[in-house]
Chain A
C-alpha cells in the first residue's frame, strides 16, 4: 500500500490572505521604525490554507537571531530576514504548537529577563551564598 503523500490530492489553495498579511507587517514595521510602536499578529486565528503558513514563512525568511525559551515547553523565537519582524512559536511540553505569533518589535518581551524572575534569582543566590 502506498503512503498517504503519494495520493494525488492538491492542497495548493489560496485564501488571498497572505498578501494582505504581508502588507500589515510592512505597515507595522514602518510604525516601529518611526515611533517605536510594536505590533503582534496572532497567526492561529487567521483562516489560512494548509500551504499558506509555509508561504508566509518562506517570504519572511530567517534572519540573524534564533532563540529558544524553555518555559512550559519550548518557545522558538526567530527573527526573520526583515529585522524587527519575529516569528514566535509556542509549544507545549509534548512539542505541540499551542500558539503562533508574528511580533513586530525591537526585541520580543519573552526574551527579556523578567523582574519577578530577577527578584527570585536574587533570593536564590543569597540562599546559596549563605549555605
Chain B
C-alpha cells in the first residue's frame, strides 16, 4: 500500500467491496475488544487512516512473539492490518541483511521522525551489552537511538515488557525491560510468553484506527485485553465456586473438567485475554486443554514459585512458613495449599 493512500482507497483498489470492508471492520472492532456498536466509528476512521511506519527491534528473545503473530489465526484481518502498516524494519522477516538492513532502519527513522511506532520484543542486557548485539550495535544503544524519534513504543512479550525469562534469577546478562531504559515515551506493554497474536494486532489496529494510545492498566498494558484476570473469565470458574478441584492430572476431578487451582493454576492473579480470545484458531487455551495457567503475562512469572504450586503456597514462600501459618489456623486456603502441594509432588512425578 503506497504511503500517500488511505486504507479505504487501498482496499477498494484491491477489489475489496464495501461489504468486505464492513466485515473487516466488524472483525477488527471485535479484535480490539470494542463493543459492536463501535463498528461504524471504526469503519469511518479506518477508511481514512494513513499508513503508519513500524520499526520492529528484536533483542534478547526466542522469536516466539514473531512466531505467534505470523501464525495468527485470523490471516485475513491480520494480513490486511499488516498491509495497512509499513513494516520498515524487522530483522527476522525482512529480506535485507547487514549494513543494508541497518541503513533501511535509519532511513525509516529519519523519514518518519516523531511518527513511527517502535515495536520491541526481547529484553535488553545492560549488565554486559555484548551479550546481544545487531550489526555490532548493542541492544541498549539501538533502543535508545530508535526510541528518541518514535511516536510510541509497543513492548511485545513479557521479555520486553517486564524482563521475562532473561531477567529470571540469576539474570546473568543483567536483562531489563524497555520501560526501565526509556522514560520519555509512551510505552504499551503487550505481555505474554508469547502474547496472544490478536492482542498484538489489536494494539496496532488501535493505532491505525484512532492514531492514539489505548487505555492502559497499572502495568502499562492495554486495559481492553488485560483488564480482567483469567480466573474471572474462565469457564471452569463455577467449579471453583463450588469447591470442586482437580487434585492430580489424572483424577476424577481432572476428567470432569474441575477447577485447576490446586494444580497450580495462576488464573486468579494473571491478567490476560486467553479465556475469551483463545489460541490455536480459537480452539482453546491452556486451562481448556487441562493445564493450569502459568501466569506468563505477569512480571517475574518465572520466579514466583513452581508452576504446579497453588497460588497460596507460592505467596507464603517456604514450606516452614506454610506450616507455621497453618499452625495458627490462619486460613482454610493455606491448609488446602499444603495438601495440594503434596499432591503436586505426586502429579509432577507422574508428569515427569
Contacts and interface: CB of A to CB of B under 8 A. Distances in A.
Interface of A: 8-16, 40-42, 44-50, 52, 69, 71-73, 75, 90, 92-94, 96-99, 101, 109-110, 114-117, 120
B238 A117 contact: no
Contacts of B255: 8-10
A114 B25 CA distance: 15
8 contacts: A8-B255, A46-B276, A49-B235, A71-B23, A94-B75, A96-B75, A117-B17, A120-B12
Contact of A99 (B12, B26, B239, B284): B26
B235 A47 contact: yes
A52 B288 CA distance: 13
Given A50-B288, A98-B27, A40 B36 contact: yes
B22 A11 contact: no
Given A15-B237, A42-B30, A96-B73, A101 B276 contact: no
Contacts of B26: 90, 99, 101
Nearest to A113: B19
B18 interface: yes
Contacts, number: 110
B286 interface: no
Given A72-B23, A117-B17, 11 more contacts: A8-B255, A44-B277, A46-B276, A47-B275, A69-B23, A71-B16, A72-B20, A94-B76, A98-B30, A101-B30, A115-B18
A47 B276 contact: yes
Interface string B87-124: 00000000000000000000000000000000000000
A15 B22 contact: no
A72 B24 contact: yes
Contacts of A50: 235, 284, 288
Given A10-B257, A90-B26, A101 B36 contact: yes
Nearest to B230: A47
B27 A93 contact: no
A96 B12 CA distance: 23
Contacts of A11: 257
Nearest to A103: B36
B288 A98 contact: no
B233 interface: yes
B20 A71 contact: yes
A116 B18 contact: yes
A37 to B, nearest CB: 11
Interface string B219-260: 000000000000001111111000000000000000111000
A40 to B, nearest CB: 4
A44 B144 CA distance: 39
Nearest to B47: A116
B239 to A, nearest CB: 7
Contacts of B216: none
B30 A45 contact: yes
B281 interface: yes
A120 to B, nearest CB: 8
B37 interface: yes
Nearest to A118: B18
